[in-house]
Chains A and B, each alone.
Chain A
Amino acid sequence: MPMTQRQALEVLMPLRGERIVVTTMSSAGIWPTLSQSLLDFAYIPSAMGHGPSLGLGLALAQPERGVIVVNGDGCQLMSLGNLATLAQQPANIFIIVLDNGQYEVTGGQPHAGTGRVDYAAVARAVGVKRTYTFTDLPSWQSGAAEAISGPGPVVIDLKVEALPNQKTPKPPRPMAEQIRRLQGALSVA
């Protein structure tokens, strides 16, 4: 039985430490109910599929800080090449793919890779050395601490429950305010 997205993020929450957390799509609606950190960045409005690239830029700019990007499988497929970009950088970044096998916020349609794409295997194939797949909540609970530690880049495929009739979440605050908060927390404003 796949875990829910909320369960997946509840496991992640105590492990994020002082890392920047970039959320996209559904996770951007759930994460603010778990965390109010100044280091949270809800990437909405976004360029679809580009959360990992934004996160990689942050990770290269802030190598000591570290970045966690919570992406969707549909988003990941839109810019699959970013895994190859990621692989060439010894960056402190963790990409979590919440893999529900559908475009959740457009009505639950399947995408081109539904049921076929192994994101951890794709990441390994393009050179990402540390990858993980967790298919249920107990395995994620027991393996998350190892996965969310050590050197990056890391790609983690989490099989999560597909929910129907989800809407694109609203960001917790306007983009300009999000940027001010994050840059203030990073002391780069």
Chain B
Amino acid sequence: MLDGPSVVAALERVGITHVVWIPDSELGTWEPALRASAKLTLVRVCREGEAFTLAAGLLLGGKKPIVMVQCTGLFEAGDALRNVVHDMKLPIFFVVGVRSWYLQQKEATTDTCPIFSEPIMNAWQIQYRLLDSSHSADDLANAYLESQHADRAGAVLIAE
């Protein structure tokens, strides 16, 4: 299970310094734990493209940020993501909340977000893992560590 306290503990364990985010209703439940952390700095941005380039600046400056956004914001942030991952080749890591994923599995939603989230990740050539309720914060931490050891960008999609 992914909840605020377990996610924060995992992020602290792998040395994350900054969480750059615009929360959705699922990720937003992590906010109290993120705010309570003495090791993580929470940086709020106005639009998701900003999150990726701000995190790029943190990486250039020697910090270890992680970006957290909803899939709608991922769609908006395409140019920033392209620039940070493919022009600058920075090992940015991010968490994407996939709205309506469970409902889409049951064909019980008209929300188009879950249809396009994974194809978008593939289009941008980002290696990712989809984490559902069977996964834990350790899986998120391991995905982060894998991307950093490989010096490449990476992501987890959170089924919502």
Contacts and interface: CB of A to CB of B under 8 A. Distances in A.
A50 B54 CA distance: 8
A179 B88 contact: yes
Contacts of B54: 53-54, 56-57, 60, 85
Interface residues of A, number: 31
B59 interface: yes
A56 to B, nearest CB: 6
Contacts of B63: 57, 60-61
B47 A61 contact: no
Contacts of A50: 49-50, 53, 80, 83
Interface string A143-181: 000000000000000000000000000000001100100
Interface in A82-139: 82, 84-85, 88-89
A59 interface: yes
Interface-centre pick from B18, B45, B52 (highest chain A CB count, 10 A)? B45
Contacts, number: 104
Given A56-B57, A79-B49, A47 B82 contact: yes
For the residues of A in contact with B, the DSSP-based class is helix
A61 B57 contact: yes
A176 B59 CA distance: 14
Interface of B: 18, 20, 41, 43-47, 49-50, 52-63, 65, 79-80, 82-84, 87-90
Interface of A: 41, 45-50, 53-62, 79, 81-82, 84-85, 88-89, 175-176, 179, 182-183, 186, 188
Q: Closest 8 A-B residue pairs measured CB to CB?
A: A57-B57, A61-B61, A188-B62, A81-B46, A47-B83, A50-B53, A53-B53, A47-B80
